[in-house]
Amino acid sequence: MIAVIDYGMGNLRSVQKGFERAGHQCIITRNPKDISNASHVVLPGVGAFKDCMDNLKNYDLVEPILNAIKSGRPFLGICLGLQLLFSESEEFGRHEGLDIIKGRAVRFSSELRTQDPELKIPHMGWNDIKIERKPPILNDIADGSYFYFVHSYYVVPKDASVIATKTNYGLDFASSIWKDNIFACQFHPEKSQKVGLQILKNFGNIKA
């Protein structure tokens, strides 16, 4: 059973439906027991970094997330769920994250528009990935595949070896990371049609 963590923000139902279309059972929950019993855990996210961290703390979800990761079970972060795994974010000030991956989330520079008028913030729409390292979740995903993005911030890991894919939007940024049992992506697989469903299928097929 896949548990999608409900902390009051994010596109939870679309993530659940994506997993169901990919052939996996999935629940939306903020119950620590459900998270503990799940074979796979997903941290999605849409919204402001600080608000999301506050909600994780208010719903007592930080410890279940840390325990799930320490247990070695497959863990997937999506969009803001990727950024929350990092040490901090500069969104509306400096705010501490879960500090599971060392590094920070930074904003795309407004100077992107001077490079190319098409480069608007937020980065919204389809863009391709360049595979740096290929975790099991990227099985049957071709280099150069297109995924759907909606974000104004991107992560900068201290250790570049955790980067799984990069994407170019005025600069090359880490569009997904892979460390041990953690895979997290800036793009939205649940909104990325066939290739996105393949990622959700692959994640659910990883043995816990």
List 88, 91, 132, 190, catalytic entry: 190
Catalytic residue among 24, 40, 95, 188: 188
d(CA 190, CA 76): 12
User: Among 26, 52, 79, 185, which one carries the catalytic annotation?
Assistant: 79
Structure tokens at 52: 């999301």
Distance of CA 65 to the CA centre of its chain: 14
Q: Could you give the CA distance from residue 208 to residue 206 in angstroms, rounded to a whole number?
A: 6
User: 12-21 and 193-205 helices cross at what angle (nearest 10)?
Assistant: 80
CA distance 95 to 87: 9
Q: Is residue 63 flagged as an active site residue? A: no
What distances in angstroms separate CA 178 from CA 12, 108, 110, 158, one per listed residue?
Answer: 22, 22, 29, 13
Active-site residue flag, 190: yes
Q: Is 52 a catalytic residue?
A: no
- Cβ-in-10-Å burial (0-12, 13-18, 19+) of 120 comes to middle
Catalytic residue set: 79, 188, 190
